Amino acid sequence: FYDEAEARKYTQNSRVVEIQSQMSERAVELLGLPEDRPCLLLDVGCGSGLSGDYISEEGHYWIGMDISPAMLDVAVEREVEGDLLLADVGHGIPFRPGMFDGCISISAVQWLCNADKKSHSPPKRLYKFFSTLYTALARGSRAVLQLYPENSEQLELITAQAMRAGFTGGMVVDYPNSAKAKKFFLCLFVGTSGTLPKGLGTECASEELHQAKFTNERTRFRNVKGKSVKKSRDWILEKKERRRRQGKEVRADTKYTGRKRRPRF
């Protein structure tokens, strides 16, 4: 949680404001909203309302949810145009079915992967979030969630729970070859299988490699770096780690794990 001093500092940092504005612009663009009417959007992890400012500038209405009282206090001080709700999205989205024409989230969803309390189960919290979000969105709408995943396992966990909740879509990666500019946007469709937008800076022929996609088929999520070669050491370690997360008994990893045996005489 941010305290009030940190929340104000965050909002007054021109670099942060600029980045937040750019990501909000890109997220709203990926929503593919109709141009002939204003829409009602949900802003998950709205913070001090920086992303909401862009939504308002575009002529849309919004409701913001955030877990930090200090950040919402700053949003109230700034007199943002959206309505604000203090809530933990890991407990679900408390709005009536089909209420929103779209949802954006900037740098928030990855926090659901953390277990801050003993009672917190990341897969359960993610599923609760995605299943209630799916219900709150109008059919044919989209959710665009910008996130900073720690690793490919987090991406796999997040996308798996989104699929389970009924979404289709996939990961749009902007500037995949840049360490600084690279951005992940989970672009989700409600009730329809739309065409996944192309990531910025992926004009090369191999752009498909950088975009993880999923449909209603329950195929294993391929991480952004590509699949580990079957039976390789990495593949074996990933498989063992998945089994540990499922609570199964797995032999300890050693220097011999995945090592090829010599042929017998």
Domain layout of the chain by residue ranges: 4-190, 228-264
Beta strands in the chain (DSSP E): 40-44, 61-66, 83-86, 100-106, 137-147, 168-174, 183-189, 213-214
Q: Give CA angle at 73 (70, 79), nearest 5°.
A: 150
Q: Which pLDDT tens digit goes with each residue over 167-180?
A: 999 999 999 988 88
Is the predicted pLDDT of residue 217 greater than 50, yes or no? no
CA distance 18 to 53: 12
The predicted structure's pLDDT at residue 221: 42
Strand order in the sheet with 100-106: 83-86, 61-66, 40-44, 100-106, 137-147, 183-189, 168-174, 213-214
Which class is domain 4-190?
A: alpha beta
How many CA atoms lie less than 13 Å away from 173 in the CB half-sphere? 23
Alpha carbon 158 to chain centroid, angstroms: 7
Is the predicted pLDDT of residue 219 greater than 60, yes or no? no
Q: Which pLDDT tens digit goes with each residue over 54-107?
A: 999 999 999 999 999 999 999 999 999 999 999 999 999 999 999 999 999 999
pLDDT band for position 263 (cuts 50, 70, 90): low
Residue with tokens 């699929």: 163
pLDDT band for position 16 (cuts 50, 70, 90): confident
With contact defined as beta carbons under 8 Å apart, do 163 and 213 qualify? no
DSSP conformational letter for 206: T
CA distance 208 to 257: 32
